[in-house]
Amino acid sequence: MFSFLNKVWKFILDILFPPVCLNCQKYLIKNQNPICEECLNKIHLNNTLFCPVCQARLPENKKICHFDCKYLLGAAGNYNDPVLQNLIQAFKYKSVKTLAPVLTDLLIKYIEPLNPKRNLGNPIIVPIPLYFRREKERGFNQSKLLAKNLAEKLNLEFSEPLRRIKPTQSQAQLKDNEKRAENVKDCFKIVNPEIIKDRNIVLIDDVFTSGATINEAVKILKQNNAKKILALVLAKA
């Protein structure tokens, strides 16, 4: 009975307030996604991995510049892509959780041709955590939602060995890279280190800007004997 009433209510709402594309505001007809196919197809996806130090493209996904970097960066797109930027901001700051499957599919569409399993075997999918108060305020952790969806769709193990142990200022509010690095210094700890020992990891976040947050997470993962790490994000700035 409740399910029937819920469907009726949704039908009435769709008539009174027809859903529109989050990007172009056109009406969506028989489209379960919050973005139309036309806008979705405008997003340009990258086709290589990147150096996390200088963001150089890595031909054949091999290190060619900074050989001492501790991980490789996978960025599905670029943050200056207006459609992708709109989707990330709606997902992260406006709590449009229905975007999670759409954004997860973009990650998969980007990463599958690069064949991460060839180099990573059977990796663990690990999200960058939020501090518990910030997650409570936002209502969810966008990186965790992406990581869970990705693990489920690729049939990989999902785990949360990282904990954020101190509140930090929003990195988006800090323009100086040194301040960003200081802001997140020692903000993570590892719980159950045996989970990551001698395991390859795909570390999930939404946007890579200075790399300070991911660098800090990689540092403590490596200190606890993680092997290869691929940082996978929706976009790099």
Q: For 179-224, how does the pLDDT look when each residue is reduced to its tens digit (9 = 90+)?
A: 888 888 999 999 989 999 999 999 999 999 999 999 999 999 999 9
* pLDDT over threshold 70, residue 163: yes
Mean pLDDT of 31-48: 90
Contact 40, 102 (CB under 8 A): yes
Q: What's the helix, strand, coil split of the chain in %, to 5?
A: 45, 15, 40
pLDDT score, position 82: 97
Domain locations along the chain:
1-36, 43-236
Average pLDDT estimate for 118-124: 83
In the predicted structure, residue 13 carries a pLDDT above the cut 50: no
Q: What are phi and psi of 224, to 5 degrees?
A: -105, 30
For range 111-122, the mean pLDDT: 79
Asked if 132 contacts 167 with a C-beta cutoff of 8 angstroms, the reply is: no
Q: Per-residue pLDDT averaged across 164-190, rounded?
A: 86
Q: Would you say residue 11 has pLDDT above 60?
A: no
The proportion of the chain whose per-residue pLDDT surpasses 90, expressed as a percent, equals 65
Alpha carbon distance 108, 153 (integer Å): 9
Task: State the pLDDT at residue 124.
Answer: 96
Sign (positive or negative) of CA dihedral 128, 129, 134, 135:
positive
Task: Out of 66-70, 133-137, 196-200, pick the least confident.
Answer: 66-70
pLDDT given for residue 16 in this prediction:
45
Distance in angstroms (rounded) separating the CA atoms of residues 128 and 26: 34
Q: Does the 43-236 domain belong in CATH 3.40.980.10?
A: no
- Predicted confidence at residue 117, as pLDDT, reads 65
Question: pTM (2 decimals)?
Answer: 0.89
* Four-point Cα dihedral 227, 179, 55, 68, nearest 10: -40
Q: Any residues with CB less than 8 A from the CB of 16 and at least 6 apart, and which?
A: none
Amino acid at site 51 = C
Do residues 88 and 235 lie in contact, with contact meaning Cβ atoms separated by under 8 Å?
Answer: yes
Is residue 116 over pLDDT 90? no
